[in-house]
């Protein structure tokens, strides 16, 4: 379910008329995603090139004042050759417009599918593209702080409270103390770039083993590149809801990354802690969403325990997995 707003064909035609993409041929709501409404729009084509576009209506979570950062980043990365969709600008040059009181953007459609159980070859490709993206984003002028660091995750879990967390799962309240410990040891001097910070398999489109697109940059921010690699490792390298670590996938991801950008010793030494912080970030946002989302809501809640298992795994095995 990810079409929250009804968009009439007249309203859509009016909107599309502001862009040099031709006339609307069809528009279909896209089921995937939970944050925004998305439509696949086909047009007759115009000077912008292409006939397929993603229309995104920003529904929640995103601060509209930050849209220029996110959309500018897409343009910067795609202009420099990264597999990232560009933003289609309207005839006045604007990257976003407002319709029915909500911000919308028209984004280039890129082919590919997201994989459920990645192979080592696919993980290697993702590692490479992530490192290329970090290099290309170095000279992006936009700035956005990470508002989901370990201190914030620790505070969110404390605010949820042990009782509410225990109702989700009896093992969850113990993460409050672990979170404080991770936050107190968090490294602050690792090399930075603009990072994706949510590069789950559903945010990567692939054609076979090749990455055709990185999408959903709405958590992108300035932060440590090795943290982004740790997030990606946590998101890609486990099966069975975090119960099984897949070493061949985790290793391939790291090798792919380092085939483009070698980690500094300080980054490698920090990876275990960074991966714990990455797991913590998703435990905390999922726990908060779980408490805030009624059980009968249309949106399927994501289980924080999937990432508690990863957190436990990294605490026990992180040094060995990352060779630090
Ligand atoms: N540029 C693109 N090219 C092709 N397909 C895309 C593109 N952008 C999005 N999609 C499709 O739309 C779906 C939803 O997009 P996305 O994941 O960005 O939704 P969302 O609601 O914004 O995000 P979230 O996953 O955070 O809820 C994707 O799974 C993908 O199938
Ligand atoms: N990718 C995240 C959702 C965005 O924060 C998750 O799976 O929890």
Whether the model clears a pTM of 0.90, i.e. scores above it, the answer is yes
In degrees, rounded to 5, the angle at the alpha carbon of residue 241 between the alpha carbons of residues 297 and 177 is: 85
In degrees, rounded to 5, the angle at the alpha carbon of residue 221 between the alpha carbons of residues 1 and 313 is: 75
For the chain, the straight-line distance linking the first and the last C-alpha, in angstroms and rounded, comes to: 42
Q: What is the per-residue pLDDT for 324?
A: 76
Q: What is the per-residue pLDDT for 280?
A: 98
Ligand nearest to the CA of 60: 1
Rounded-to-integer distance, Cα 86 and Cα 73, Å: 9
The tens place of each residue's pLDDT in the chain, 324 residues long, gives 477 888 999 999 999 999 999 999 999 999 887 788 999 999 999 999 999 999 999 987 788 999 999 999 999 999 999 999 999 999 999 999 999 999 999 999 999 999 999 999 999 999 999 999 999 999 999 999 999 999 999 999 999 999 999 999 999 999 999 999 999 999 999 999 999 999 999 999 999 999 999 999 999 999 999 999 999 999 999 999 999 999 999 999 999 999 999 999 999 999 999 999 999 999 999 999 999 887 776 678 899 999 999 999 999 999 999 997
Q: What is the per-residue pLDDT for 1?
A: 46
What domains are defined for the chain? 9-108 (3.30.200.20), 120-322 (3.90.1200.10)
Helices (H), 26-116: 67-79
- Residue reference for tokens 């949510």: 198
Q: What is the per-residue pLDDT for 202?
A: 96
User: 305 with 273: CB under 8 angstroms?
Assistant: no
Q: Is 110 in the pocket of ligand 1 (CB under 6 A)?
A: yes
Bridge partners (DSSP) of residue 45 are: none
How many angstroms from the chain centroid is the CA of residue 235? 10
Please name the residue whose Cα sits nearest to atom 4 of ligand 2. 198
Ligand 2 center–CA 198 separation, angstroms: 7
Strand residue runs (E) in 102-226: 102-108, 192-195, 204-207, 210-214, 221-224
Strand residue runs (E) in 149-220: 192-195, 204-207, 210-214
Q: What is the per-residue pLDDT for 111?
A: 97
Residue of 164, 161, 198 lying closest to 176 (CA atoms): 161
Ligand 2 center–CA 110 separation, angstroms: 22
Rounded-to-integer distance, Cα 61 and Cα 33, Å: 13
Percent of the chain with pLDDT over 70: 99
Rounded-to-integer distance, Cα 223 and Cα 197, Å: 9
Ligand nearest to the CA of 57: 1
Cβ neighbours of 155 (radius 10 Å): 14
Encoded tokens for 139: 């000279």
Rounded-to-integer distance, Cα 250 and Cα 236, Å: 7
């Amino acid at each position: 379910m990810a079409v929250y707003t009804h968009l009439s064909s007249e309203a859509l035609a009016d909107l599309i008329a502001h862009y040099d993409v031709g006339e609307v041929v069809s528009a279909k709501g896209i089921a995937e995603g939970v944050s925004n409404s998305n439509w696949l729009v086909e047009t007759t084509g115009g000077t912008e090139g292409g006939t397929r576009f993603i229309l995104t209506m920003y529904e929640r979570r995103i601060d509209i004042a930050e849209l220029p950062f996110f959309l500018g980043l897409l343009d910067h990365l795609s202009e420099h050759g990264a597999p990232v969709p560009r933003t289609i600008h309207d005839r006045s040059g604007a990257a976003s417009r407002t319709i029915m009181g909500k911000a919308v953007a028209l984004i280039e459609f890129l082919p590919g599918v997201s994989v459920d159980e990645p192979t080592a070859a696919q993980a290697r490709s993702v590692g490479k593209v992530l490192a290329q993206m970090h290099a290309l984003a170095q000279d992006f002028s936009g700035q956005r702080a990470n508002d989901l660091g370990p201190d914030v995750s620790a505070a969110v879990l404390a605010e949820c409270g042990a009782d509410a967390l225990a109702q989700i799962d009896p093992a969850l309240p113990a993460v409050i103390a672990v979170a404080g410990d991770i936050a107190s040891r968090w490294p602050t001097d690792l090399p930075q770039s603009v990072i994706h910070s949510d590069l789950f398999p559903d945010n990567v489109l692939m054609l076979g083993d090749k990455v055709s697109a990185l999408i959903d940059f709405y958590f992108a921010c300035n932060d440590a590149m090795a943290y982004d690699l740790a997030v990606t490792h946590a998101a890609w390298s486990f099966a069975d809801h975090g119960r099984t670590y897949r070493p061949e996938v985790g290793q391939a991801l790291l090798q792919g990354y380092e085939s483009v950008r070698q980690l500094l010793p300080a980054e490698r030494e920090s990876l275990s802690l960074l991966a714990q912080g990455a797991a913590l970030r998703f435990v905390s946002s999922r726990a908060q969403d779980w408490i805030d989302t009624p059980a009968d809501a249309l949106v399927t809640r994501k289980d924080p325990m999937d990432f508690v298992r990863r957190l436990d795994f990294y605490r026990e095995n992180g040094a060995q997995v990352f060779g630090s």
